Amino acid sequence: MKSKVVAATGRSRIGRQLQRIVLQCAAFAVTGCLLASPSRSAGAPHFQRAGHASVPDPPSTPPLAIVLVTLDGVRWHEIFEGVDARLAASHGLPPSEVVGAAELTPELHRIVATHGAALGAPGHGAAISASGPNFVSLPGYAELLSGRRATRCQDNQCSGGGARTLLDDFSAGAARSAQVALFSSWPEIARVASVRGVVAEPIPRSPTFRSDALTADLAIAHLKAHPPRFMFLGLGEPDEFGHRNDYAGYLNAVRRADARIAEVAQELTRLAARGTRTALFVTADHGRADNFVEHGSTYPESARVWLIAAGSAVRASGFVAAQRQRRLADLAPTVRQIAGLPRDLDPEAGMPLSELLDPDNR
């Protein structure tokens, strides 16, 4: 499997390792127990900052389950327009492979059509983008998880996002460690998962890239066995194939991810039927350059991403027209508002995506 991007341009990060890694038994799972608990220990940072403290759900409120899924480096083009005929031809794919978006990612489009919403589709209002200025993975994940422009993380070697994240928030209010979890095929996400930077996992993590199939298996099993208040699932193979300039491999990775998202959505639907307030958000950490292979600061078009949302706490409104430019930093404030967590008043913080929320949640 092709390597992940480097700091400046988004080029290769790891080597072809999928066959070897699938055989590994090590699991990369970051759960709430690895983040600082609400009580302070000697030398540990105190997360209960003025104006930005996390609190558990009041006993009278229904249980909550929020899942954030990222498809690393997946372009908005495939999500909303389907297979790119130009790229398909240049990569030798037959005309029969050029299908529309609803056929390429049927589960995502079924979610939007039946009980969800899509933001950032062409012809439907303003776009949603990574803030940058370097449109590579760690800054994108830092922005997503913190809800702030990642000014302290500008490349894939940064040591941390420098801001409190959703995992910090939910961990501080969790009654059990299993209520907060992070699963990722690319282990470097751990660097920005918490305000503390690099974290230690309760079980050994994969030292390099792990197959999306195994990552999804672990996450879905956890979701079913220990319904979390917040779970992050990062699938990375589309970006790996993109950097190899393997359009067929990229498309197949997107199809596989779509099928696993259906499993997550199905489980959240089951929880909602039992009275749990649910929310599912699916997006990307960055887009791609017009040449498909690369992304980063020299390719401003790779800033544009997309967002699909669903769940009992999300307004089912189909293709939504944003009235103004949206960014990845707006997602964490949306999650915090759904969960009843205090708003981040930092100037770099995003704003809740009111387009996706019912009036009672705004």
Mean per-residue pLDDT, 151-174 = 88
* 40, part of any domain: no
The residue among 333, 328, 325 whose CA lies nearest residue 351 is 333
**Cα distances (angstroms) measured from residue 106 to each of 59, 102, 111, 123, 192:** 38, 5, 9, 20, 31
* 83, part of any domain: yes
* 74, part of any domain: yes
CA 362/CA 360 separation, integer angstroms? 6
Residue 196: the pLDDT is 64
What CATH number is given to the structural domain containing 87?
3.40.720.10
* 117, part of any domain: yes
* 256, part of any domain: yes
Banded pLDDT at 199 (limits 50, 70, 90): low
Residue 53: the pLDDT is 42
- 313 and 335 Cβ atoms separated by less than 8 Å: no
Q: How many CB atoms lie within 10 A of CB 330?
A: 25
* 15, part of any domain: no
User: Which residues, other chains included, contact 347 with Cβ-Cβ below 8 Å and sequence gap of 6+?
Assistant: none
* 21, part of any domain: no
Banded pLDDT at 207 (limits 50, 70, 90): low
Residue 358: the pLDDT is 78
Tens-digit pLDDT profile for residues 273-308 = 999 999 999 999 999 999 999 999 999 999 999 999
- 216 and 207 Cβ atoms separated by less than 8 Å: no
253: domain range?
28-35+54-361
* 18, part of any domain: no
Tell me which of 199 and 7 has the higher pLDDT.
199
Banded pLDDT at 314 (limits 50, 70, 90): very high
Counted domains in the chain: 1
How do strand 128-129 and strand 307-310 relate by DSSP bridges? unpaired
